[in-house]
Every structure is written in C-alpha cells, then in structure tokens.
Amino acid sequence: MSVDATKVIPTPTPLEPGTVQPVTLRPATAADAPALALVGAATFLEAFTWMLPGADIVAHCAEQHSAALYARFLAAPDTRITLATSGADAPVGYAMLAAPDLPTFAVLPTDIELKRIYLFSRFRTAPVVGHPGLRPAQALLNAVIADARALGRTRLLLGTHANNLRAVSFYRRNGFAEAGTRTFQVGAQVCCDLIFAKPI
C-alpha cells in the first residue's frame, strides 16, 4: 500500500524534561463538541479522584460530558466556551459560560454562570500564547469575563465544592465572594456546593 507523504506527521522535537508546551486559547465552535466532551470528562476525572467514588465520576461524565450535550450548550444563545489547546490543537482545558442554572439562588436577569473552568494539572503553569506573564487559568477567566461583559451581564456566578480548596483560593483571589449554597448531583452523590458571585 502506498503512503500519502502529505499525511505523514513529522516526528515532533522531544520536550526537554521539565518543559511544558505553551497553551493557546480560542473560542470553541460547534465543531468542537467532541473535543469538549473528551477534555471535559478527562479533566473532571483528574480533578475529583480524591473526592468522589469512581462509579459516580463515570456516571457523571457519561451524562454531563457527552458531545451531544456540548453541542446543545454551544447552540444556546448565552453559551460561550473558551478552549485551551496545546501542541497541534489538542484540548487541555476549557471554560464555559452559560445561562445560570442555580435553582436555590435569586438569579438576576443580568447574571451569568461560569459553569466550568478546568485545566489538566500539567498545563496550569504553561505559558499562554499572546498573554505573556499570565497563567492559563487566569487567561481563561479573563476571557470568560470579557465574554460575559460582551453579553451585557454584570455579575458572574459559580458553584464549587467548599473542599475544592485550590479552586476556592483561585476564585477568592479573583474577587469572588460567597453568596449562597446549592446541592449538586454527581452520579449517586449529592454534593453541597458554595455559590460565589463577582460583579463584573
């Protein structure tokens, strides 16, 4: 069988030990639903092995990180997803802004929810293309805030587990303050989350 030389991927230069490939941010489009499903499930798994039973992580990802669900989110008028990629557009993280779904909270029409912000741990200290000096999580949050303002929203809400200390520190450092609580189902587990809010 002949090989199409134009399709052969050149052998990549090996990474020096300790180096991290740079991260690029870009808006996700409808074509990214499968990439979001993959990075959504994988980063959720990496983030919560310490807290949740495996069966609940698997059930949650099958339900909440399907390509079909991301396609529905991407088609909604208030959804904006920023994808973090590395190498040749391989997804390594993302942040998702969407219409608030916080039934126990007095949501205002000018609110919007940061539903998800996830990065593989290996890429959290990577340089971000076009954003010298910024870490990827900060660059993602800045993109989320810019999108929320462009949608005319004036307050950013989010829910996170109180024991997710790294995320809580990140949100507090970025000016989010505790504003309420909610319950959040992951598989068979019912988690009690804190709701944080930030005027933008």
> Where on the chain is the footprint of ligand COA (CB under 6 A)?
47, 117-119, 124, 135, 137, 160, 164-167, 169-170, 173
**Nearer Cβ to ligand COA (149/166):** 166
Residues 7, 158: Cα–Cα separation, whole Å = 43
At residue 100's C-alpha, the angle toward residues 96 and 102, to 5°, is 120
**Nearer Cβ to ligand COA (39/74):** 39
Residues 19, 16: Cα–Cα separation, whole Å = 6
Minimum CB separation from ligand COA for residue 140, in Å?
A: 7
Strand locations in 50-109, DSSP E? 80-86, 90-98
Minimum CB separation from ligand COA for residue 170, in Å?
A: 4
Minimum CB separation from ligand COA for residue 122, in Å?
A: 11
Minimum CB separation from ligand COA for residue 76, in Å?
A: 20
Strand locations in 28-176, DSSP E? 80-86, 90-98, 111-119, 155-161
**Nearer Cβ to ligand COA (74/126):** 126
| Element containing residue 42 per DSSP (H, E) | helix 33-48
**Nearer Cβ to ligand COA (33/39):** 39
